[in-house]
Amino acid sequence: MKAIVQDRYGSPDVLELREVDKPVVADGEVLVRVRAAAVNARDWHLMRGDPYLARLVLGLRAPKERIRGTDFAGRVEAVGRDVTRLRPGDEVFGEADGAFAEYVCASQAVVEPKPDGLTFEQAAALPLAGNTALMGLRDLARVRPGDRVLVNGASGGVGTFAVQIAKAFGAEVTGVCSTKNAELVRSLGADHVVDYTREDFTLGGPRYDVVFDLVGNRSLAECRRALTPSGTLVLSGGGVSGGGSLVGPMGLLVRGWMLSRFVSQRLLVLTATPDRKNLAALRELVERGDLAPVVDRTYPLPDVAAAIRYVEVEHARAKVVVTV
For residues 116 and 91, membership in a common domain is answered with yes
102 within a domain of the structure (yes/no): yes
- Our separate counts of H helices and E strands in the chain read 10, 15
For residues 118 and 224, membership in a common domain is answered with no
Q: What is the DSSP pairing of strand 227-235 with strand 208-213?
A: parallel
298 within a domain of the structure (yes/no): yes
122 within a domain of the structure (yes/no): yes
285 within a domain of the structure (yes/no): no
Residue 249 has pLDDT above 60, yes or no: no
Handedness of CA 251, 309, 152, 278 (dihedral sign): negative
For residues 119 and 20, membership in a common domain is answered with yes
Residue 114 has pLDDT above 80, yes or no: yes
> Are the C-beta atoms of 13 and 47 separated by less than 8 Å?
no
Q: How far is C-alpha 285 from the chain's CA centre?
A: 17
pTM of the model: 0.91
For residues 136 and 255, membership in a common domain is answered with yes
For residues 169 and 115, membership in a common domain is answered with no
For residues 255 and 137, membership in a common domain is answered with yes
What CATH number is given to the structural domain containing 47?
A: 3.90.180.10
**Mean pLDDT calculated for residue range 1-26:** 95
274 within a domain of the structure (yes/no): no
Measured between alpha carbons, how far is 306 from 303 in angstroms, rounded to an integer?
A: 5
Decide: helix, strand or coil at residue 235. strand
For residues 140 and 258, membership in a common domain is answered with yes
DSSP state letters, 6-24: ESS-SSGGGEEEEE-PPP-
9 within a domain of the structure (yes/no): yes
Q: Which of 118, 17, 29 is nearest to 73 (CA)?
A: 118
79 within a domain of the structure (yes/no): yes
For residues 71 and 161, membership in a common domain is answered with no
Measured between alpha carbons, how far is 123 from 74 in angstroms, rounded to an integer?
A: 9
Measured between alpha carbons, how far is 121 from 241 in angstroms, rounded to an integer?
A: 25
The span from the first CA to the last CA of the chain, in angstroms, equals 11
For residues 206 and 314, membership in a common domain is answered with no
pLDDT-derived band at 276, boundaries 50, 70, 90: very high
For residues 120 and 187, membership in a common domain is answered with no
For residues 133 and 265, membership in a common domain is answered with yes
**Mean pLDDT calculated for residue range 254-261:** 62
Residue 263 has pLDDT above 60, yes or no: yes
The confidence score (pLDDT) of residue 219 equals 87
Residue 31 has pLDDT above 60, yes or no: yes
Q: List, in sequence order, every residue forming a beta bridge with 111; answer none if it has no partner.
A: 94
Q: Tell me the per-residue pLDDT of 77-94, one tens digit each, with 9 for 90 and over.
A: 999 999 999 999 999 999
Q: Tell me the per-residue pLDDT of 136-169, one tens digit each, with 9 for 90 and over.
A: 999 999 999 999 999 999 999 999 999 999 999 9
What are the φ/ψ torsions at residue 292 (nearest 5 degrees)?
A: -140, 120
286 within a domain of the structure (yes/no): no
For residue 9, what are the domain limits? 2-126+293-323
171 vs 141, 167, 193, 200, 273, CA distance in Å? 12, 5, 14, 21, 24
| Total structural domains within the chain | 2
Residue 57 has pLDDT above 80, yes or no: no
What CATH number is given to the structural domain containing 161?
A: 3.40.50.720
For residues 174 and 298, membership in a common domain is answered with no
